[in-house]
């Protein structure tokens, strides 16, 4: 499993955990995230008088998170859409849309981490926001690493030295290689 597929699976897992909680028990999240606890006189789990609207938005968000995670899995190539009778010719490279899908979900995780961080400080240290911030930060950092270092396996590699020929000497020159070239000529 390559890094793009690993990122896609990890992102889907985190989004599925959030979505399952939102779909199955929508009032739990709003109760956990209230700074003052459940509303006075209301049964446990009901945060406000607009419980039906709250449940609608929570379940809609949960379904949207499942859709986002599933789209990431499909667009990154981790879940192939080709039939087994016609396997793709090169299964090791991610699909062309993989970098776009990883970029968008990395931006999503970074925004979610930033929001959770600001809410954590605004509520004076609510643990649920801290956990959300940590998980989203890890996924945003991992997605950034995938964007920077993954993909493009069709590099030109020297048969003699094994060095990558697609790199340049900018901004640092390879003085040792330049000396050897001057001695040869």
Pick the range with the lowest mean pLDDT from 34-38, 90-94, 145-149: 90-94
Pick the range with the lowest mean pLDDT from 13-27, 31-45, 78-92, 119-133: 31-45
Burial, 52: exposed, middle or buried (Cβ in 10 Å; 0-12, 13-18, 19+)? exposed
Question: Could you tell me the residue ranges of all domains in the chain?
Answer: 1-34+51-80+95-151, 155-184
Gap between the Cα atoms of 33 and 126, Å rounded: 7
Percentage, residues of the chain above pLDDT 90: 33
Over residues 171-181, the pLDDT tens digits come to 667 677 677 77
Model confidence at 58, in pLDDT bands (50, 70, 90)? confident
Contact 47, 38 (CB under 8 A): yes
pLDDT, position 156: 67
Q: Which of 5, 2, 49, 1 is nearest to 27 (CA)?
A: 49
The pair of structure tokens assigned to 145 is 């690493």
Summarize the confidence of residues 156-162 as an average pLDDT.
72
């Amino acid at each position: 499993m390559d890094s793009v597929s690993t990122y896609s699976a990890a992102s889907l897992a985190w989004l599925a955990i959030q979505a399952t909680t939102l779909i199955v028990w929508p009032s739990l999240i709003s109760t956990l995230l209230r700074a003052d606890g459940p509303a006075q006189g209301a049964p446990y789990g009901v945060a406000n008088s607009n419980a039906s609207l709250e449940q609608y938005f929570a379940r809609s968000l949960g379904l949207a998170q499942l859709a986002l995670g599933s789209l990431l899995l499909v667009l990154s190539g981790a879940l192939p859409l080709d039939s087994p009778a016609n396997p793709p010719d090169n299964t090791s490279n991610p699909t062309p849309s993989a970098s776009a899908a990883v970029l968008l979900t990395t931006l999503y995780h970074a925004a979610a981490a930033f929001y959770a961080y600001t809410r954590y400080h605004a509520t004076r240290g609510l643990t649920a926001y801290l956990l959300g911030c940590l998980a989203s930060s890890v996924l945003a950092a991992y997605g950034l690493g995938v964007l920077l270092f993954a993909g493009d396996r069709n590099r030109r590699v020297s048969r003699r030295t094994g060095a990558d020929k697609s790199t340049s000497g900018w901004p640092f020159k390879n003085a040792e290689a330049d000396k050897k070239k001057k001695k040869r000529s």
